[in-house]
Amino acid sequence: MHQSKTTELEFLSTIPPTIFYPDLEKSTSTTKSSTARTPLPVKCWATFFDEVKAYHFDDCIQCYSQPTFKTYDKSYDISNEEDVSGALKNNLLDNLNIITASRKQIEVFKRISKEDKVVGEPDFIYKRIGKRVGKLLLPIEVKTSWVLYLEDDEPLHERYEKDLERKRSEKILPDSNSKISVVDIIRQIFGYLVVNRLQYGILTTYNQHWFLKRPKNEPRALYISPVINIGSKNPTVFQCYGFLQYLAKKDTKCPSPGATPSQSSSSSIDDNESSDNNTAASDYEETSDNITSGSDYEEIFSS
């Protein structure tokens, strides 16, 4: 039977299924990252949804197959972060690759490999394919809802400030399991942006997604979108990903926090250029992770 084709807008208006998280006793700790960095300040990307809704996705050319999905609704389907990553790949990233693979400059969502020359270990990356290395556009960090879950649409940037203050006042070590904290999670994904000199990234549990921006004129700051749930209709999760893809392609790079935009190299680099140029840790060094007074969360920025 002949399957009808869809436009880009129709494709991205599709709503992926949720995944079922069973009620398990799980650790609330998260992976310690050697490239973690602390943003100053953390703010809300309040205009993100309006920007997505205003963006024009093509609604004329019908050239894409309908997206396909795998269900994860059994109690044994999701039990760890790798299962969540698999669901994200199958239901979101592989479908988005159908669109990106059709473009003149091919871009893909993929797991990292040694050949990608990415600094740090994000779960996925979005990159432009080049003759040699290609161009890194943005990282994606995956967490489980056992580690990262906000109720009643609590803003992630506000939760970060609360957890940061709690760590200071209660002397909780960054890797403590006593309470869920988003501080180390934010430091991890922000670190990937800093050491790879990128502006945009994504943090997700599959059922919830946050879109991140490190502006070129505020390279020490992190802007976080309001949460978008997998079942959102206006905009959809696919539309949010598509819009961030556009932004990351249009203006990829962000300078080191120790440099100004005028001192940094151009944000547009050749497809064959490695994405890890000039990513020495000395550009944005921190004090030890194992101390918890207020000053412990301040960075030492090289000039």
Neighbours of 232 (CB within 10 A): 16
- Does 228 have pLDDT greater than 50? yes
Average pLDDT score over residue span 288-292 = 32
What is the tens place of the pLDDT at every residue in 58-85? 999 999 999 999 999 998 999 999 999 9
- Does 303 have pLDDT greater than 60? no
pTM: 0.83
- The mean pLDDT value of the chain amounts to 83
Check residue 260 and give its pLDDT.
Answer: 44
What is the tens place of the pLDDT at every residue in 268-279? 333 333 333 443
Check residue 29 and give its pLDDT.
Answer: 63
Average pLDDT score over residue span 262-269 = 39
Among the ranges given (132-136, 223-227, 257-261, 282-286), the one the predictor scored with the smallest mean pLDDT: 282-286
Among the ranges given (55-64, 144-153, 219-228, 244-253), the one the predictor scored with the smallest mean pLDDT: 144-153
Percent of the chain's residues with pLDDT above 90: 66
119 or 130, higher pLDDT? 119
Check residue 145 and give its pLDDT.
Answer: 94
- Does 3 have pLDDT greater than 50? yes
Neighbours of 230 (CB within 10 A): 20
Check residue 300 and give its pLDDT.
Answer: 29
Highest mean pLDDT among 29-43, 97-111, 182-196: 182-196
Among the ranges given (64-78, 146-160, 161-175), the one the predictor scored with the smallest mean pLDDT: 161-175
Check residue 13 and give its pLDDT.
Answer: 98
Which residues, other chains included, contact 47 with Cβ-Cβ below 8 Å and sequence gap of 6+? none
Check residue 265 and give its pLDDT.
Answer: 40
Check residue 171 and give its pLDDT.
Answer: 55
Average pLDDT score over residue span 132-159 = 90
